Amino acid sequence: MTSTTNAPAAAPQPGPFDAVMDITPRPPLVFVAGRGSWLTDSEGRRYLDFIQGWAVNCLGHSPRPILDALARQAERLINCSPAFYNDQMIRLSDLLSRHSGLHQVFLANSGAEANEGAIKLARKWGTKYRDGAYEVITMDHGFHGRTLATMSASGKAQWEQLYEPKVAGFVKVLLNDLPAVEAAMTPRTVAVMLEPIQGEAGVFEATAFFLRDLRALTRDRGVLLILDEIQTGIGRTGRLFGFEHAGITPDIMTLAKGLGGGVPLAALVAHQDVCCFDYGDQGGTFCGNPLMAAVGCAVIEEVTKPGFLARVVQAGGYFGDRLHMLSGKRGCGEVRGQGLLLALDLKRDIASQVADLARTRGLLINAPRPDSLRFMPALTVTDEEIDQMIDVLDGVLGDIARG
Ligand X SMILES: Cc1ncc(COP(=O)(O)O)c(C=O)c1O
Closest CB 229 distance from ligand X, rounded Å: 8
> Rounded to an integer, what distance in angstroms lies between the CA atom of residue 300 and that of residue 110?
17
> Rounded to an integer, what distance in angstroms lies between the CA atom of residue 270 and that of residue 250?
8
Closest CB 111 distance from ligand X, rounded Å: 2
> Rounded to an integer, what distance in angstroms lies between the CA atom of residue 341 and that of residue 320?
10
Q: Is the peptide bond before 377 cis (omega within 30 degrees of 0)?
A: no
Strand partners, 171: 137
Closest CB 257 distance from ligand X, rounded Å: 6
Closest CB 15 distance from ligand X, rounded Å: 27
* Closer of 199 and 377 to ligand X (Cβ): 199
Where does this chain bind ligand X (CB under 6 A)? Answer: 54, 110-112, 115, 143-145, 195, 199-200, 228, 230-231, 256
The DSSP symbol for 261 reads: B
The DSSP symbol for 265 reads: -
* Closer of 118 and 363 to ligand X (Cβ): 118
> Rounded to an integer, what distance in angstroms lies between the CA atom of residue 131 and that of residue 201?
34
Residue whose CB is nearest to ligand X in the complex, by number: 111
* Closer of 110 and 218 to ligand X (Cβ): 110
Q: Cβ(222)–Cβ(133) under 8 Å?
A: no
Closest CB 379 distance from ligand X, rounded Å: 16
* Closer of 143 and 277 to ligand X (Cβ): 143
Task: List phi, psi (to 5°) of 169.
Answer: 105, 20
* Closer of 199 and 288 to ligand X (Cβ): 199
* Closer of 116 and 135 to ligand X (Cβ): 116
37 Ramachandran zone, left/alpha/beta (phi>0; psi -120 to 50): alpha
Angle, alpha carbons 69-74-78 (nearest 5°): 115
Closest CB 54 distance from ligand X, rounded Å: 6
Question: Residue 205 to residues 16, 21, 81, 103: CA-CA distances in angstroms?
Answer: 41, 34, 39, 26
Closest CB 147 distance from ligand X, rounded Å: 8
* Closer of 332 and 378 to ligand X (Cβ): 378
Closest CB 42 distance from ligand X, rounded Å: 25
> Rounded to an integer, what distance in angstroms lies between the CA atom of residue 125 and that of residue 3?
74
Class of residue 242 by CB neighbours under 10 A (exposed 0-12, middle 13-18, buried 19+): buried
Q: Cβ(400)–Cβ(354) under 8 Å?
A: yes
* Closer of 115 and 176 to ligand X (Cβ): 115
